[in-house]
Structure 1
Amino acid sequence: MSDPKPSRRRVLATGLAAAAGAVAGCLDGSVTGGPANDDGDGRVLRLSLDDAGETLRDGAVIDPAESDPRWNQAAFAAARDGERYTAQYRKPLPAATDDPTYAVHEETYYRLDSVVVNEAVETRPVLRLFEADDDGETDNDDETDAVETQTLPESDRNAVEIAHKSTRARGNPGGVPVGLVERGGYVYRDADAVDASELPAADGPDRVTYRDSAYRVEVTREQFYEPVYRAVAEPVAESTEGMEAILRAQTVGARIDDDDLSADAREVIEAARHGGYEESHPYSDGYAELLRALHERPYIDGNVRKDAAWTESGSERIRYGDRYYDYRLRFESA
């Protein structure tokens, strides 16, 4: 059947040129459109689909036996056995948020968390670096007194590198790396590292040289209020099917089978899988049907110029056939 306004839709395929061309031909010849006039707002609604695979576990579950997770495996082992494991300041396991972390051990799946169970008060050395000429002394004095950073213990070398980032940022736009610099310098938190370090010592060097520049060393001892975390590993599933069901319930929205869609809607979704698909409003019957199957009614049932632009929908994970896809809807200039 002919399209009353074929210029309203475009297939945006990259690669697979022959397949994409065939899909485009089908769309131009068989997808029925809405009213011939469009809204004239100069934009199109683009749908893209990214393949997320056949299972959700591959990207959501960590197997410590096959990878090196960036959390305390001793904490995971203790929490699995019901033992109390706590850590101060740093979370022993990932904290459960809207996107929790799961791990598997001997075919049992666990949901990981770190919960605050107390507060600790500690006095920590804080290293700050300042331009050596800030105190009015000469460059010769700076060079004579300064200790080369590379000759210091590893804990001090790391401290100087991080403290230098704060020194470099003073008075300059761009800020400092969040999570590394604290209180304008570097905080020594590991007791063993403090014992092995030279800079926090009472007779430590007053100046250091870093990247061919001399810096004045300032070490203060300051009070910190730090959380105490308890590691939690809650068993949630005893099989791969059970874990898959949990992940589907948490992350998957619409579930669509080929039989749920008309031929026109299937052509639209195939085009979206091969690079993207777009139309201007009013949308063709096939596009509108697919939007309803995605539960994206604000794009067709409301004021398209206003309501859909502010809706919280527009991106989600779906199951289509036997695979998962992440889709995205967005308005673009025609």
Structure 2
Amino acid sequence: MDGLTPSRRRLLAGALAGGIGAAAGCLGTGSDGDADDGDGAELRLSLSRVDGTLRDRYVRDPDDPPEGWDGSALDAALAGESYTTQGRKPFFAAPDDPAYVLDEGTYRELGSVVVDEVRETYPVLRLFETDGDVESAVDGSKDGSLPEADQRAVRIAYFAARARGDEGGYPVGLVQRGGYAYRTDPARDDSALLDDDGPDRVSYRDTAYRVEIERERFHEAVYRPAATAVAERPERMEAILRARFVGPRIERGDLSAEARRIVEQADMEEYAETHPYSDAYVELLRAMDARPYIDGNVRKDAGASETEEEMIRYGEEYYERYLRVVDGADD
């Protein structure tokens, strides 16, 4: 499966730091675009080898689907039976992030189509911070007395309440309408907060909140799952995945010895140079189709406000390629 290590992902999660100006063909640290004197911005490259084949990474066994997939939808799609899901895609698949399974020797791409729209009314829990005593509120944490459905609702509504105070973001897709929507019958049936005589205050993370519940109308898409046969042979499936997910292809023999040395270092840790770059670095950047980092206004043209990630093929192996620009003064 995925050969990326968590430590590598954390290392490369930093965004572009400091003000970085660039003129065509050079990186500068000042807004006037003066040439870099060697103490300013660096272009850093890191490579993470992807273990195994792309099939190992992207193709799932129907008997071991990812958590969150609708198992009944998968069974129905593979059997060609009629089935629909409401309000959520059955496999979380999108055109740029498809899902695949190997079913009895046939590789299938999973997806869904919208076949209808329905209107539903759901209770929505919102929390509002209050100055009341925390001890007198019902404990909404997992150690409290509320049912599990309400514990989940409080946890998600808490993120929305926190975001109103500009203290942090919230998980998109879980928070809805500024709170938590009780969409399923089991969640509604098990809830204590939804009872007419339910608690009007809860506590979470040492803060007391006023409970507000409103019944609101939602318009939801109805999805029909689909499983399209795309390949019978592993080699054909690998080619399909390469075409979809892999960018530049680089042959080792096409690079100079010095450019190959840079690849080896970037694979082990991280490689960085300050502009003007060495001939070998420029050679490698061109081979990876990272030309905006060489020739243009890096901040504007290369989209370097955050780490850029792309999968490449080097020789017979796949790599996740990360490029980022950082201010040398930050290290």
- Is 1:65 paired with 2:63? yes
The 2-side partners of 1:166 and 1:266 are apart by 49
The 2-side partners of 1:148 and 1:170 are apart by 21
Alpha-carbon offset, residue 46 of structure 1: 3.6
Q: Give the secondary structure class of the aligned counterpart of 1:70.
A: coil
The 1-side partners of 2:207 and 2:325 are apart by 51
| Equivalent position to 2:263, from 264, 269, 287 | 269
8 Å CA contact 2:112, 2:223 repeated in 1: yes
TM-score, normalisation: structure 1: 0.69
Alpha-carbon offset, residue 164 of structure 1: 4.7
The 2-side partners of 1:308 and 1:166 are apart by 32
Instruction: Tell me the residue number matched to 2:78.
Output: 80
Alpha-carbon offset, residue 129 of structure 1: 4.6
Q: Give the secondary structure class of the aligned counterpart of 1:83.
A: coil
8 Å CA contact 2:73, 2:83 repeated in 1: yes
8 Å CA contact 2:36, 2:276 repeated in 1: no
Cα RMSD for the two superposed structures: 3.6
Stretch of structure 1 that moved more, 271-280 or 237-246: 271-280
Q: Give the secondary structure class of the aligned counterpart of 1:159.
A: helix
Q: Give the secondary structure class of the aligned counterpart of 1:59.
A: helix
| Equivalent position to 1:195, from 180, 183, 189 | 189
> For the structure 1 residues 280 and 116, does the alpha-carbon distance in structure 2 shift closer, same or farther, using more than 3 Å as the test?
same
Q: Structure 2: which amino acid aligns with 1:268?
A: I
Unaligned runs of at least 5 residues, structure 1: 1-38
Instruction: Tell me the residue number matched to 1:235.
Output: 229
> For the structure 1 residues 105 and 125, does the alpha-carbon distance in structure 2 shift closer, same or farther, using more than 3 Å as the test?
same
- Is 1:207 paired with 2:200? yes
Instruction: Tell me the residue number matched to 2:242.
Output: 248
8 Å CA contact 1:54, 1:322 repeated in 2: no
Taking the TM superposition and a 5 Å limit, the aligned residue runs for 1:141-156 are 150-156=144-150
Q: Deviations over 1:188-233 (max 9, x none)?
A: 21124333444434x4335355458776554332222122122122
Q: Give the secondary structure class of the aligned counterpart of 2:74.
A: helix
Instruction: Tell me the residue number matched to 1:33.
Output: none
Q: Give the secondary structure class of the aligned counterpart of 2:285.
A: helix
| Equivalent position to 2:301, from 281, 285, 310 | 310
Q: Structure 2: which amino acid aligns with 1:239?
A: R
User: Which of the two has greater helix per residue?
Assistant: 1
> For the structure 1 residues 47 and 217, does the alpha-carbon distance in structure 2 shift closer, same or farther, using more than 3 Å as the test?
closer
- Is 1:114 paired with 2:108? no
Instruction: Tell me the residue number matched to 1:102.
Output: 100
Q: Give the secondary structure class of the aligned counterpart of 1:98.
A: coil
Instruction: Tell me the residue number matched to 1:91.
Output: 89
Instruction: Tell me the residue number matched to 2:218.
Output: 224
Q: Larger C-alpha radius of gyration, 1 or 2?
A: 1
Aligned residue-pair number: 284
Instruction: Tell me the residue number matched to 1:183.
Output: 177
Unaligned runs of at least 5 residues, structure 2: 1-34
- Is 1:55 paired with 2:53? yes
TM-score, normalisation: structure 2: 0.69
Q: Structure 2: which amino acid aligns with 1:231?
A: P
Instruction: Tell me the residue number matched to 1:27.
Output: none
Stretch of structure 1 that moved more, 209-218 or 112-121: 209-218
Identical pairs, percent? 52
Stretch of structure 1 that moved more, 161-170 or 73-82: 161-170
| Equivalent position to 1:123, from 105, 121, 124 | 121
> For the structure 1 residues 147 and 262, does the alpha-carbon distance in structure 2 shift closer, same or farther, using more than 3 Å as the test?
closer
Q: Give the secondary structure class of the aligned counterpart of 1:205.
A: coil
Q: Deviations over 1:96-121 (max 9, x none)?
A: 13122222222322222233221111
